[in-house]
Amino acid sequence: MRILAIETSCDETGIALLNASGGPSLKTSKPSRAVPRIAVRESLVASQIALHREFGGVVPNLAKREHLRNLPILFARLEKKLRAKGERLRFDMITVTVGPGLEPALWTGITFAKDLAKRTGVPLVGANHLEGHLYSFLLPQKTAPSKIQIAKSQSAKLQSTQSSAKKTITAPQIAFPAVALIVSGGHTTLLVMESLVKWRTLGETRDDAAGEAFDKAARLIDLPYPGGPEIEKLARTGDPHMVKFPRPMLHEKNYDFSFSGLKTAILYYVRDNPRSVATEAGRAGLAASFQAAALEVLIKKTIRAAKEYGARSVILCGGVAANTALRTQLKRAVRNALGPDAAFLVPLRAYHLDNAAMIGAAGYMAHLRHKRYPLRADGTLEI
């Protein structure tokens, strides 16, 4: 099945073309555990980060305006890329993110997808953005990414990722039960999965999401938006033991998270230690201490859940999964706690941050599951 996928939930406009086949058959009462094979023909992302940076965060109406402008540009770019290979853009299904996210931004993608479905007569399936992150490990692990600039645009950077559909795509190895940690700018959610299509939420954040905590901590020490990559960079040279920040809810017997206390602790530290914060070593130590506190809670709670539910795989996904320290430390913790046979699944770096390829995977799974999300923006849609 050829799938055209569209993502506009936040500040990245994405259009992707995928080939998908196989996957769990839901015809029997007990779904099979087959894993789909997905090839990403093209994945185009126009990032608005530079535009929102001067406001210190995403401005919904500005995001909407940019999506409206970028969608036809990306679509034309996709057609052109295929033409260059002597192919015509053809697809059997369209899928678009319907939530969660910023509703004005979501509507731009939904309207574009509806028009396209009407024009082409191709069926349209709604996709859940969080399922996109969750299923992003299904996307190929080997790609040839390249970055290009959108013409006539000062703000949008276009990133293109592609993998040859002609190559044999092997489905990733996942064994169940699995525990999945979704960490993004809007969510921190821990799931236990019985199969690719059946899961239960174990816990989530009670206030700020993990990515939001990185963004807010960054702002307190005058780092630009988005703060996650900036904190990570600064933390590399800092002493993680410089400040003993709280580890919120670490010892509570649930799987919920809370990051707002950590933000307040940084606020007080910055207020009370202006001299330290004025030095490069002080700022680096602060970034490293914050990151150590946030990662310790995420990792320890994920491992505790994995042990309690006898997980044979652990999935890490969402924008914060781009954090190398988180990936390496969680990978090590999974090996130590669950043994060398446990699978640690993370998507390719190009698919951590918002993109349409992951929405293609989620749309394909929704199609297999006969899951019909209403085709309207739902800012608070749950997984």
Residues that bind ligand KG4 (CB under 6 A): 10, 184-186, 211-212, 214-215, 226-229, 232, 318-320, 322-323, 353-354
Instruction: Select from Zn ion, ligand KG4, none the partner in contact with residue 132, using the beta carbon and a kind-dependent cut-off of 5 to 8 Å.
Output: none
Instruction: Select from Zn ion, ligand KG4, none the partner in contact with residue 320, using the beta carbon and a kind-dependent cut-off of 5 to 8 Å.
Output: ligand KG4
Nearer to Zn ion, 57 or 261 (CB): 57
- Residues 6 or more apart from 299 whose CB is under 8 A from it? 326, 329, 330, 333
Q: Which of 282, 277, 245 is nearest to 263 (CA)?
A: 245
Instruction: Select from Zn ion, ligand KG4, none the partner in contact with residue 108, using the beta carbon and a kind-dependent cut-off of 5 to 8 Å.
Output: none
Nearer to Zn ion, 212 or 354 (CB): 354
Instruction: Select from ligand KG4, Zn ion, none the partner in contact with residue 227, using the beta carbon and a kind-dependent cut-off of 5 to 8 Å.
Output: ligand KG4
350 close to 143: Cβ distance less than 8 angstroms? yes
Q: Does 354 bind Zn ion (CB under 5 A)?
A: yes
Q: Does 12 bind Zn ion (CB under 5 A)?
A: no
Q: How far apart are CB 362 and Zn ion at their closest, in Å?
A: 11
Instruction: Select from ligand KG4, Zn ion, none the partner in contact with residue 232, using the beta carbon and a kind-dependent cut-off of 5 to 8 Å.
Output: ligand KG4
Rounded to an integer, what distance in angstroms lies between the CA atom of residue 224 and that of residue 215? 8
3-state secondary structure the chain: CEEEEEECCCCEEEEEEEEEECCCCCCCCCCCCCCCEEEEEEEEEEECHHHHHCCCCCCHHHHHHHHHHHHHHHHHHHHHHHHHCCCCCCCCEEEEEEECCCHHHHHHHHHHHHHHHHHHCCCEEEEEHHHHHHHHHHCCCCCCCEEEECCCCCCCEEEEECCCCCCCCCCCCCCCCEEEEEECCCCEEEEEEEECCEEEEEEEECCCCHHHHHHHHHHHCCCCCCHHHHHHHHHCCCCCCCCCCCCCCCCCCCCCECCHHHHHHHHHHHHHCHHHHHCHHHHHHHHHHHHHHHHHHHHHHHHHHHHHCCCCEEEEECHHHHCHHHHHHHHHHHHHHHCCCCEEECCCHHHCCCCHHHHHHHHHHHHHCCCCCCCCCCCCCCC
The span of 211-219, 289-297, 350-358, 361-369 binding Zn ion (CB under 5 A) equals 350-358
Nearer to ligand KG4, 106 or 306 (CB): 106
Q: How far apart are CB 40 and ligand KG4 at their closest, in Å?
A: 17
Q: How far apart are CB 99 and ligand KG4 at their closest, in Å?
A: 11
210 close to 344: Cβ distance less than 8 angstroms? no
The interface with Zn ion within residues 141-200 (CB under 5 A) comprises 184
Q: How far apart are CB 213 and ligand KG4 at their closest, in Å?
A: 8
Q: Which two tokens stand for residue 284?
A: 């680096």
Q: Which of 85, 89, 65 is nearest to 76 (CA)?
A: 89
Nearer to Zn ion, 66 or 354 (CB): 354
Q: How far apart are CB 52 and ligand KG4 at their closest, in Å?
A: 11
Q: Does 48 bind Zn ion (CB under 5 A)?
A: no
Q: How far apart are CB 353 and ligand KG4 at their closest, in Å?
A: 4
Nearer to ligand KG4, 163 or 323 (CB): 323
Nearer to ligand KG4, 10 or 311 (CB): 10
- How many residues interact with Zn ion (rule CB under 5 A)? 2
Nearer to Zn ion, 102 or 169 (CB): 102
Nearer to Zn ion, 140 or 185 (CB): 185
Instruction: Select from Zn ion, ligand KG4, none the partner in contact with residue 226, using the beta carbon and a kind-dependent cut-off of 5 to 8 Å.
Output: ligand KG4
Nearer to ligand KG4, 117 or 322 (CB): 322
Q: How far apart are CB 209 and ligand KG4 at their closest, in Å?
A: 7
Q: Which two tokens stand for residue 253?
A: 């017997």
The span of 40-48, 61-69, 140-148, 349-357 binding Zn ion (CB under 5 A) equals 349-357
Residue ranges binding Zn ion (CB under 5 A): 184, 354
